[in-house]
Structure 1
Amino acid sequence: MTTLGPINGEHPIPRHALRSTRIVGDDGEESVVATVYCPLKERSATVPECESCTRFHALHFDAPSRRTSVVCDTGQWTSEVKSADPLASVSDHVNPAAPLAGIMTRDVLCVRPEVTVDEITTLLVRHGISGMPVVDADGKPVGMVSRADLLRTAQERGDTEESERATLHLDEVAPLDIELEQGFHVVAPVKVTARDVMTPVVVQLHESASIRQAASLMAYEGVHRLPVVSDDGRVVGILSSLDVLRWFGRSCGYLIPPARMRV
Structure 2
Amino acid sequence: MTSPEPINGEHPIAHHLIRSARIVADDGEESVAATVYCPLQERSTTVAECESCRRFHALHFDATARTTSVVCHAGPATPGEERADPLHGVGGPLDPETPIADIMTRDVLCVRPEVTVDELAALLVGHEISGVPVVDAEGRPVGMVSRADVLRAAQERGDTEESQRVTLQPDDIAPLDIEQGFHVYEPIKTTARDIMTPVVLQVHESASIRQAASLMAYEGVHRLAVTSDDGKVVGILSSLDVLRWFGRSCGYLIPVPARKRS
- Same fold flag (TM > 0.5): yes
* C-alpha distance in 2 between matches for 1:100 and 1:171: 59
* C-alpha distance in 2 between matches for 1:98 and 1:13: 21
Query: Sequence identity of aligned pairs in percent?
Result: 73
In structure 2, what residue type is equivalent to 1:14? A
Number of residue pairs matched by the alignment:
245
- Which residue of 221, 234, 259 corresponds with 1:261? 259
* C-alpha distance in 1 between matches for 2:12 and 2:103: 19
Query: What is the DSSP-based 3-state SS (H/G/I as helix, E as strand, rest coil) of the residue aligned with 1:97?
Result: coil
In structure 2, what residue type is equivalent to 1:108? V
**Cα deviations by residue, 1:20-46 (Å, 9 ceiling, x for unpaired):** 000000111000000011111111011
2:245 maps to what in 1? 247
2:4 maps to what in 1? none
Query: What is the DSSP-based 3-state SS (H/G/I as helix, E as strand, rest coil) of the residue aligned with 2:215?
Result: helix
Q: 1:168 deviation in Å?
A: 1.3
Q: Which runs of 5+ in 1 are unaligned?
A: 1-6, 82-90
Matched, 1:100 2:120: no
Q: Output the aligned Cα RMSD.
A: 2.4
* C-alpha distance in 2 between matches for 1:174 and 1:21: 46
Query: What is the DSSP-based 3-state SS (H/G/I as helix, E as strand, rest coil) of the residue aligned with 2:142?
Result: strand
Q: 1:156 deviation in Å?
A: 2.2
* C-alpha distance in 2 between matches for 1:73 and 1:216: 35
| Structure (1 or 2) with the greater helix fraction | 1
2:179 maps to what in 1? 180
Q: Is the 8 A contact 2:142 2:199 kept in 1?
A: yes
2:198 maps to what in 1? 200
Q: 1:75 deviation in Å?
A: 4.8
1:153 maps to what in 2? 153
Q: 1:247 deviation in Å?
A: 1.2
Q: Is the 8 A contact 2:92 2:251 kept in 1?
A: no
Query: What is the DSSP-based 3-state SS (H/G/I as helix, E as strand, rest coil) of the residue aligned with 2:121?
Result: helix
2:233 maps to what in 1? 235
Are the structure 2 counterparts of residues 174 and 140 from structure 1 closer, same or farther at C-alpha, using a change threshold of 3 Å?
Answer: same
Q: 1:179 deviation in Å?
A: 2.6
* C-alpha distance in 1 between matches for 2:11 and 2:220: 40
Q: Is the 8 A contact 1:133 1:141 kept in 2?
A: yes
* C-alpha distance in 2 between matches for 1:179 and 1:78: 71
Q: 1:61 deviation in Å?
A: 0.8
* C-alpha distance in 2 between matches for 1:196 and 1:160: 17
- Which TM-score applies when normalising by structure 2? 0.86
Q: Which runs of 5+ in 2 are unaligned?
A: 1-6, 82-90
